Amino acid sequence: MNDEIAAGSGWVLNSAEDINNNGQITGTGMINGRQHAFLLTPISGVLAVSPLVVNQSPSGSFIFTNPQTNLWYDPPPVDGFDYSLDNGTFNSVTTDSESPYTVELIISGIEVATLRPGETYHFDPGVSTFRLIGIDPLLDAGATDISTAFPVLLDFTPGANNLAANSVIVSDSVPEPASLALLGSSLLGFGRW
């Protein structure tokens, strides 16, 4: 743990006692020659339990400006996302090991992989866009902490201006109510002949 705190902080962490669902760690350590309790709070994006999130967008497009590589990103819940980078390429995508989802990875309209929880896909060569589908937005909406509904770890070339996650809505083919009414009246008409 001592490698994970700011250099020159003066702390020497001795023991970790507990960790909560937000990734915060409590424990004891030494500072200025005296033992004290500590609370470590992860920086957003470093852990899957504290991903970088954006507010809900009416357009369904979520933009992370000046994104940093090797961080966890999590837009609000939908069926899937089209991820894209301005001025960069993705090297890999990793799903959260605690995720309930098995998702399909699609590049240029072709399914190239099925990712189970905790799996990483390495793009070779890198790509500037890809799609993940198979998220259950109703399950996400019921999550107690919506910010960790479907985080993904993204590795990409440095220097990208924007990382976009555009909502993908996958609709099942369900007949419209008017079509059902027309079908029902047609069937009733056949019964009269």
Note whether 160 and 76 are same-domain residues.
yes
Backbone angles phi and psi of 140, in degrees to 5? -60, -45
Based on the fold, state whether residues 66 and 136 are members of the same structural domain: yes
Say what the alpha-carbon torsion angle 138, 92, 19, 38 is, to the nearest 10 degrees. -130
**With contact defined as beta carbons under 8 Å apart, do 104 and 124 qualify?**
no
**pLDDT score recorded for residue 73:** 82
CB 28 within 8 A of CB 35: yes
What integer pLDDT is reported at residue 119 of this predicted model? 95
On whether both 68 and 28 belong to a single domain, the answer is no
Q: Determine the pLDDT at residue 24.
A: 77
CB 99 within 8 A of CB 52: no
Residues 65, 156, single domain; the answer is: yes
Token pair recorded at residue 144 = 């107690």
Euclidean distance between CA atoms 132 and 85, whole angstroms = 15
Structural domain range at position 35: 2-40
Buried b (16+ CB within 10 A) or exposed e, 13-34: beeeeeeeeebebebebeeeee
**Cβ atoms of residues 47 and 40 within 8 Å:** no
Name the token pair of 85: 């980078």
pLDDT at residue number 184: 47
pLDDT of 49 reads 67
Q: Mark the ranges of the chain whose per-residue pLDDT is less than 50.
A: 146-147, 172-187, 190-193
The confidence score (pLDDT) of residue 132 equals 93
Answer yes or no: are the C-beta atoms of 67 and 157 closer than 8 Å.
no
pLDDT of residue 4: 67
Q: Are residues 6 and 99 part of one domain?
A: no
Residues 26 and 73 in one domain: no
Do the beta carbons of residue 73 and residue 154 sit within 8 Å?
Answer: yes
- Does any domain span residue 82? yes
> Does residue 98 share a domain with residue 69?
yes
> Is 79 within 8 Å of 170 (Cβ atoms)?
yes
Q: Please, what sign has the CA dihedral across residues 149, 150, 155, 158?
A: negative
